[in-house]
Structure 1
């Protein structure tokens, strides 16, 4: 048995017959739910286990760029069917602000959406349930035992047998550790994030990214009366008030605004694995590698990984998924490194942003590449 043994067995909310599932997904975040939706639409029997209970929240910029929306649609998820327009906001493009420089570009075709993480999670969960996906909440995985015909997964409640095991359990994935896929993982960047909501009407339909020597602050409109601000920096963040001091222009706008909810922190990394699949086990989402949040591509990557993984499962060849994963991750990883280079070099940042300000068609072209247009 890999991991701590678990002999306790108890009934779960919706386990498959005899605790069996064709696809068992560990982790019910957006990556796990997207994979569950994609697999269920292919007629596979899917079970999802998670140590928490919904709603599941996480520090996140809460913006879905057009490519993320396209990837969701390709999975068969109709955003407008599950989310009321009043629960989100349109995102027309990206605006960079650094000192006296303001450079912006619109998305090439469709707009993006700003959506609270919990709203998106509830919508994905509802879609998965409608497709017949089973869920076992408050169920933590204690160990796994790979075999020739699948994997046995022991939890604090019961044991499951599955043909394919999917680890969607985040950066500190236990599935990656127990399967050996975490060995040799490379982390080339490590930063800290904090998210805070503010009760203020969005002043722009662009996602605004404020840059300073301190880090970045991303302002995303998420409704007619609320914005999400995600701060990132090389050091831990004491509070939203302290974080705002690094961005005087943003502090002028939000210094007196009412905060909604408590701040939520996280880490953001650039992390690559040697492989994302072995035997009957595969990883998706942050468990399979990550790019810095500076790209805004975390959600879109998860949705693309989910589609590629289910395609490989249907073909009975997880090697296909490993190859597709590398292709999908390549450009966002490069963009992460370029943007972090700008963040760490004030002189270079000023030169590049001034060019983007004076030549907006260059910014528009780069944004087209970034969103896959």
Structure 2
């Protein structure tokens, strides 16, 4: 019998497989797509995420990031990372590095998709395979999470959507730049010496170009031919009843998601994969819920607070001015998340 079966071969799923293999467990990842997979992603990795990749033997090449910068039409505020830098990394490069490390450790990746699972005493079965444990890492709109009845409806919350594309231009910054407007944000992440990714997030569903036109300081800097097509994702917010269902544990975006606003998706995916496997090694999957809540608490609190402010035009206009006149508060918030 397999020790750990992983549904989903994105960064969270591959990291779970790697952690399981490093713990001496047999891991099999089920994924329908070929490596590397591209998707809409801000592509900035916090310093904690960079350290987590190194710790499992999967370092990646990218563009060093010294901090976070908030901007509006007139002001800006910087919050440098404390200690080690972050990294801007193409999603495909990150995925390839994790897949390579998984292969080195003997993690088997099989083609398929997990839509549901059966459980019994000491076992769980999915995609024609049987294992002691199943880790659901099948993304924001996890079919496995839904089949387990763990989705929690959230009809009152405004829905936010993201779009991303790259521009062949030399980076003008070594920060992740967050350009604010009353109707959304644009996130600039340098990912190579001649490539930047620009993601836009908004409650309004319209074309990428229309979103980008709302940021007058940003558009002139992108006077270059787009290097990639637009990719979209959403709705962002996903509420979850719990992250443990018998012998199934949810990690990464499948474990619940607030928003991409604070840019911690990859770091949290890696941390949750580590935490889930640690709980399985101990034979105590039930403690994973508490572990997940602890590792994501600061992220969830700050993201919810910023979403509340950005959701109203009057308060959204105050975010960058407040960060610029209260730099210690802004820097402390960024350091708490890094």
TM-score normalized with structure 2 length: 0.95
Superposed, which structure 2 residues align to 1:156-305 within 5 Å? 159-182=128-151, 184-186=152-154, 188-239=157-208, 241-254=209-222, 256-305=223-272
Q: What is the distance in 1 between the residues matched to 2:258 and 2:311?
A: 17
Q: Please give the root-mean-square deviation of Cα atoms over the aligned residues, in Å.
A: 1.7
Q: What is the distance in 1 between the residues matched to 2:284 and 2:120?
A: 16
In the other structure, the counterpart of 1:29 is 10
Structure richer in strand, relative to its length = 1
Size of the alignment, in residue pairs?
337
1:144 Cα deviation from its structure 2 partner: 2.1
Q: Deviations over 1:39-73 (max 9, x none)?
A: 11000000001121212111000000112223334
Q: What is the distance in 1 between the residues matched to 2:292 and 2:83?
A: 26
Q: What is the distance in 2 between the residues matched to 1:352 and 1:172?
A: 30
User: Which ranges of structure 2 fall in alignment gaps of 5 or more residues?
Assistant: none
Q: What is the distance in 2 between the residues matched to 1:129 and 1:169?
A: 20
When structure 1 is superposed on structure 2, of 188-197 and 286-295 the one drifting more is 188-197
Q: Deviations over 1:222-259 (max 9, x none)?
A: 011000000011122313x22211111111111x2110
Superposed, which structure 2 residues align to 1:8-47 within 5 Å? 20-47=1-28
1:330 is the counterpart of 2:297: yes
Q: What is the distance in 1 between the residues matched to 2:260 and 2:180?
A: 14
1:103 is the counterpart of 2:77: yes
Between structure 1 and structure 2, the one with the greater Rg is 1
Q: Is the 8 A contact 2:58 2:98 kept in 1?
A: no
TM-score normalized with structure 1 length: 0.86
Aligned match of 1:92 in 62, 66, 71?
Answer: 66
1:341 Cα deviation from its structure 2 partner: 2.3
In the other structure, the counterpart of 1:356 is 323
1:26 Cα deviation from its structure 2 partner: 0.7
> Are the structure 2 counterparts of residues 329 and 270 from structure 1 closer, same or farther at C-alpha, using a change threshold of 3 Å?
farther
1:349 Cα deviation from its structure 2 partner: 3.9
Q: What is the distance in 2 between the residues matched to 1:97 and 1:335?
A: 18
Q: Is the 8 A contact 1:270 1:291 kept in 2?
A: yes
User: Which ranges of structure 1 fall in alignment gaps of 5 or more residues?
Assistant: 1-19
1:189 Cα deviation from its structure 2 partner: 4.6
Superposed, which structure 2 residues align to 1:145-164 within 5 Å? 145-153=118-126, 155=127, 159-164=128-133
Q: What is the distance in 2 between the residues matched to 1:142 and 1:214?
A: 36
